[in-house]
Structure 1
Amino acid sequence: MKEHDLKALFEQTDKVSSDEVAKLRAKQAAIQAFENAQEEQKNSEDAQGNRSINRPIAETNNLIGRIMMHLSNRWLMGGFATAGLIGLVFVTTWQARQTQVDAPLVASRFDQEAITGVPQVEELSKPMAPKVAGRIRKERELAFAESDAMVRRDVAIASKKQRMAAPRIAGIADETFNVIEYDDRFQEFDENRVKSVSEEPFSTFSIDVDTSSYSYVRKMLNRGNLPVNDAIRTEEIINYFDYKYPVPDNREEPFLASVGVSDSPWNKGNKLVHIGIKAFEAPAGQQPDSNLVFLLDISGSMSAEDKLPLVKKSLRLLLRQLKPTDTVSIVTYAGGTGVALEATAVAEKQKIVAALEALSAGGSTAGESAIQLAYNLAEAGFKKDAVNRIILATDGDFNVGISDPEKLKELVEKKRESGVFLSVLGFGDGNYRDDIMQSLAQNGNGVAAYIDTFSEAYKVLVEEASSSLFTVAKDVKIQVEFNPATVSEYRLIGYETRSLNRGDFKNDKIDAGDVGSGHTVTAIYEITPVGSNSGLLETPYYDANRRQYKPQEQSDEYGQLKIRYKQPDGDTSLLISKPLMAGEKVSGALVQEFNFATVAAGFAQVLRGRSYVDWDYNDVIDMAKKNLGEDPYGYRSELVGLARKAALIEFEESNE
């Protein structure tokens, strides 16, 4: 295929028209082709020992990339035209990989490498190993099968060009597809505003270790959609990643707090104050026993492959992490409630697995309230000095016997006093109730995670099993008092839904977040030092003339950090405090960890609309590449890929 032929085809698409479904198929296929092109090259490089982050692709791909983005913006003729064109793109892509083609670089509003991962230099493509090529073909077929399945539900939101709206989007009727209703719901919130130190020197919030926001955002971007703003909780995107902060030596000191100060990369003149917490992680042999109750949604909506089937696979992974002396019970709910498995020792693993595999979506035996039944089983098998926890897995149907969310929250709050905690795992979408998930997990002394893939299930239930199950400190609160002599303004990045009143900090009756074994928690403040003109707030005339802050003995302090926490079995909080020093000295390794946390924070803020940052996806990608550090599972590299996809989607939508 000659380049002028491709150009002719590119121009011809301007004249073609089609319906919503064809347009959506083209958009999905373009995004999928973009992902597959990157994945093919990555596998080829890996097979030949090339671990470079930059993935060389023949320059003809520049034109193909333009075609795929252009197809996303035009009305195509229908199934045959779309399928033929996508086939043409793949054939041409394969040919381009075998021969280096001279072609001029295509200018765009985004850096070419930032969007496609293609270095702007000519590099010789190496032939692909047959086994690798065969695996890629198989993975491509599976990817397109999944993409086609997604079209049915995604067509419901095809007319929303900028964002998937919450709480409700009505379905779109089509002669090919059924009417679909999209109803993912999130707690509404506004980004934290910039505050004046002279007016509000105290900032107080509950720590957060949930990660569901990042997983949901990833799923939306992988589908070619920008997520709704309320789905983007910055602290959960920051805390999705593990950070190598200093660790305490023993269990008596549950965590250490590390502090660092750096220049703000998105607002010149401002500083970022990093607070990093790393919890003590007990050796596997010293972990307490577990008494777990799986509360599983098996309603009809759970039949999709990324719902009940993924729930089963996920819980089988968790079983591998448990000890033979741990016990597991299973309660199911749909039209009614049933006990699928009485308390069973993990030593009888096959019995537990058989009970899981016997479950099917659609209904169950009628019975009492599912949530009450789950607590009854947990209390009946209660183990002192052990983990007593209910794990709720659902796609958003909280028909657990209590329909009022407030009453459900009250029950969870009451039951946590008995020592039985609640964690929530979300699956699938369409009626995903993230707002209720967050409320239950926060009030049940548990975590909320969203599992969109088997890989995410492995991360949450294998890699992070101890931090998800074993609490080392509960009701953890952070309060920072800023020094008006050195700081004029500040903004807490994220934690909007975890905000506390100043008086809540010392009040031990106020619930807060828990920290699990080995957990890391990161919080970032952006501050404006006194004397800098980078602030957003006008200096009050009377304040400036009436009050002078010149305590020389505190001139190098930005503020005081205070952390309150309780032992897992305690009722009285303990206090940790340390100053936030302007010239805080940290190691190079810790600087790298803080820098990647900055990348995650910047990505979330750009994705939310750049209200407080002068940054774009190029900046996210550049800083991430320099601070990947050790990345054995590729989680940090994945964020780079998501930033590229977000840039591509935003560019495509801006040109519709």
Structure 2
Amino acid sequence: MKHVLRSALCCVLLLLSAPALADSVIIGTVSSAETKKPIPDVVVTANSPNLQGEQVAVTDAQGNYRIPQLPPGVYTLRFYREMYRPFARADIKLPLDRTIRVNVELLPESFSEEIVVTGGSPPLLDFGAIGRGISDFFGGRRNSNPPPPPSTPPSTSASPAAPPTERTTSLPQQPFSDMYFKSYGVNPTIDTEEERFSTFSVDVDRASYALARGYLERGAMPDEQAVRVEEFVNSFDYGYRSDPESPFSVHVEGFPSPNRKGYHVVHIGLKAREVSRQQRKPTHLVFVIDVSGSMNIENRLGLVKQALRLLVNELDERDRVSIAVYGSTAHLVIGPTSAAEKHKLMEAIDEFYSDGSTNAQAGIELGYSIASEHVLKGGINRVILCSDGVANNGITDADGIWERVRAQAAKGITLTTIGFGMGNYNDVLMERLAQVGEGNYAYVDQLEEARRIFVQNLTGTLQVVAKDVKLQLEFDRKAVARYRLVGYENRMLTKEQFADDRVDAGEVGAGHSVTAIYEVKLREPTDTFAALRIRYKEPEGGDSRELEKQLPSSVLRPAYGRTAPPTRLSYVAAAFAEKLRGSYWIRTLSWEQLHALWEALDEPLRDRPDVKELGALIRKAQGLDRRTDRFEQLTPVVSMDFDRVPVIK
């Protein structure tokens, strides 16, 4: 398997390296747009379809850089420096045997008015070569909104002293270039006469919520395609109790919808069995750390190191840790080391630094090689990838990578991905790797998020208690006329796939909870309105098992205000996500009304730090949202009343 994969990869790389002539040069100077002074230590990367991988240079004390021995072609340059905005220049045409100068002025991180560019054309915030092969494989797209094409090409000259030209262009609506997402659409409302089964794979990730928070706290609305409703809903603790006699406990409650007349919101929660810290299995964790040039901005690598230190402090003598890093190449920093030797691990964490381009495949291959050679029998064997998801060198055979990751997961070596950074970030790749690797996907936008993953929820993060978990609701046509699953668009399954053990699904860690929100239109009172089925496998695999529970109509409360506060919280989280992604189904609910729903939560819950933060984010989004209401002609006025079903006038 390994020989075939490497042979295929070598063939691809040989094909990509066909252009042998590399006699052209790009030079330039990087200076501050505010002070006009040169900026040293700026990481400059050059990408082109004609170039194997990525060429990297760093500016000297005078702000000068030089990238020699380039094949002719069309290039994208990117400029990274802490305390300055990441910047990209695209469509730079480099002729054979020529030297061209591209000067740029960088804006400080806090600047938001305009970009001043010297040396030719205005900036095109194009995703360029970074991650394009992988992301196009999934049909994703970047969120940047480039200005019109330049009217004049970049200056070309054999002399470094070519006179620059100046242009000024407004910032695009999205301030973070090269953020790569994929849209899965929005679930429709379905008539039970057409299909009464709703089936999906569970998802306990929360990366989408952390990403949206990262946008909002930087003063920008998140890209609509970055919003996955289920990850917002599953970002909050609803206080479910676990059942020691069952692998899952089930919690169901409903209430009249605050924004869809005649519909009820149904909250369905599952809680996996708890495992104490003492009962947790021993672990071998292989960290694969991206140390490429793009990880040197926004203190990404610094945040990775802080997160690792938190984790090491939580592990004990049962656990072993290995650390590998990758830039242009991959290498081992420290082999399997007992977590009791914390000083050794802390020294290893301090050792690595940012350098080179981004050979993600080399890093993943090395991580799996270490994990395979040092399998901890009867324990948890996991590769943990920490990266911004950029993969511009090495991952050229997407099918080969998925086969490799899937095969290792089948052997019990799972893959967790943890994302870092705003701008130059590939959400599509990170989510997909975790899905195929039977692990989870998280995004760390702040140290507190790392603490939640590695300290507060360590056992659930590491120890899987059920794999390939699928949920299915069979609605009673006599009781339910129509329904809509809110979110889980990229986890949808057919009713036939529910019982098919060959179909992969989500994994659930110890003590983790899964929550789903439905909107249902009721017909007539009945004893039960649906049957809930849960299908899962034991962590070691084998045949799946099935649980079934009838959902009684008695769980449907007469009003929003009569519902348990955690149930109301789940609706606020879901509605917040729906608003951010511009869902048609939430068009009747204004930002002000959504915040009023948040305020209607009981005070003890509202004062919880994560819930208080949710209220603040709703207010931030309200102040930032400048989108034109695409459903303006269809939007009725909603009367908000928490003790009755809201009336649409």
Taking structure 2 as the reference length, the TM-score comes to 0.69
Identify the residue that residue 568 of structure 1 maps to in structure 2: 539
Counterparts of 1:461-540 in structure 2 under 5 Å? 461-530=454-523
CA contact (8 A) 1:338 1:365 kept: no
Which letter does structure 1 place at the counterpart of 2:549?
K
Identify the residue that residue 578 of structure 1 maps to in structure 2: 549
Distance 2:296 2:227 in 1: 27
Q: Does 1:642 align with 2:642?
A: no
Which letter does structure 1 place at the counterpart of 2:332?
V
Change (3 A) 1:259 1:340: same
CA contact (8 A) 1:169 1:183 kept: no
Secondary structure of 1:578's aligned partner: strand
2:574 aligned residue (601, 613, 617): 601
What's the CA shift for 1:639? 0.7
Counterparts of 1:13-412 in structure 2 under 5 Å? 148-151=108-111, 166-170=142-146, 182-249=177-244, 253-363=246-356, 369-398=362-391, 401-412=394-405
Distance 2:598 2:389 in 1: 34
Identify the residue that residue 555 of structure 1 maps to in structure 2: 526
What's the CA shift for 1:339? 0.6
What's the CA shift for 1:463? 1.3
Which letter does structure 2 place at the counterpart of 1:194?
T
What's the CA shift for 1:385? 2.0
Distance 1:646 1:369 in 2: 40
Identity %: 36
Secondary structure of 2:142's aligned partner: coil
Distance 1:642 1:512 in 2: 31
Distance 1:408 1:367 in 2: 10
Which letter does structure 1 place at the counterpart of 2:493?
L
Change (3 A) 1:368 1:266: closer
Distance 1:342 1:589 in 2: 56
Which letter does structure 2 place at the counterpart of 1:564?
R
Distance 1:249 1:589 in 2: 29
Secondary structure of 2:382's aligned partner: strand
Higher helix share: 1
- CA-to-aligned-CA distance 1:336-371 (integer Å, 9 cap, x gap): 110111111111111111111111101399999321
Distance 1:484 1:343 in 2: 57
Secondary structure of 2:340's aligned partner: helix
Unaligned runs of 5+ in 1: 1-20, 23-146, 532-553
Farther off after superposition, 174-183 or 384-393: 174-183
What's the CA shift for 1:153? 12
- CA-to-aligned-CA distance 1:12-36 (integer Å, 9 cap, x gap): xxxxxxxxx99xxxxxxxxxxxxxx
Taking structure 1 as the reference length, the TM-score comes to 0.68
Which letter does structure 2 place at the counterpart of 1:199?
E
Secondary structure of 2:554's aligned partner: coil
What's the CA shift for 1:427? 0.3
- CA-to-aligned-CA distance 1:161-207 (integer Å, 9 cap, x gap): xxxx8355448997799999811111221100111100011111000
CA contact (8 A) 1:476 1:514 kept: yes
Which letter does structure 1 place at the counterpart of 2:443?
Y
Identify the residue that residue 406 of structure 2 maps to in structure 1: 413
Secondary structure of 1:612's aligned partner: helix
Q: Does 1:625 align with 2:596?
A: no
Which letter does structure 1 place at the counterpart of 2:471?
I
What's the CA shift for 1:404? 3.0
- CA-to-aligned-CA distance 1:610-648 (integer Å, 9 cap, x gap): 410221222222222232544676011101001101111
Distance 1:167 1:644 in 2: 23
Distance 2:392 2:367 in 1: 13
1:438 aligned residue (431, 443, 461): 431
CA contact (8 A) 1:166 1:228 kept: no
Distance 1:186 1:148 in 2: 26
Distance 2:343 2:420 in 1: 24
Secondary structure of 1:601's aligned partner: helix
Secondary structure of 1:260's aligned partner: strand
Change (3 A) 1:272 1:308: same
Change (3 A) 1:589 1:419: farther
What's the CA shift for 1:607? 1.6
CA contact (8 A) 2:230 2:516 kept: yes
What's the CA shift for 1:148? 4.7
CA contact (8 A) 1:280 1:518 kept: yes
Change (3 A) 1:169 1:337: farther
Change (3 A) 1:231 1:153: farther
CA contact (8 A) 2:465 2:539 kept: yes
What's the CA shift for 1:401? 4.0
RMSD: 3.2
Change (3 A) 1:291 1:648: same
What's the CA shift for 1:325? 2.3
Which letter does structure 1 place at the counterpart of 2:434?
A
Distance 1:494 1:440 in 2: 20
Change (3 A) 1:368 1:217: closer
Distance 2:170 2:344 in 1: 40
Change (3 A) 1:372 1:366: closer
CA contact (8 A) 2:114 2:168 kept: no
Distance 1:214 1:493 in 2: 15
